[in-house]
Amino acid sequence: MNIAEIITLFLWALGLVNLIEPFNGFLFYIAHFIFFTLLIAHVIEIFIYHKLIKEKSTNYVAGLIQTFLFGVIYLNKLKKL
């Protein structure tokens, strides 16, 4: 797992924690923005790169999950295959 994947997982965790137990002040808005930006961007990537995920990933469901979690980081790995 590289540093970009760790940072992405940290941002997902920050957003999820904010949903479960909202932060106070400005951090609430930052975490909320980050979470929904990741959510929307990665869902759009799944729709746009659906064919690539289906063709290149060894396990289709795992490919969808990894695209949802890591987005272009995972898709770049698929393009190199």
For 51-63, what is each residue's pLDDT tens digit?
999 999 889 999 9
According to the model, what pLDDT value does residue 26 have? 94
pLDDT tens, residue by residue, 64-79? 999 999 999 999 988 8
What percent of the chain stands above pLDDT 90?
89
Phi, psi of 23 (to 5 degrees): -75, 165
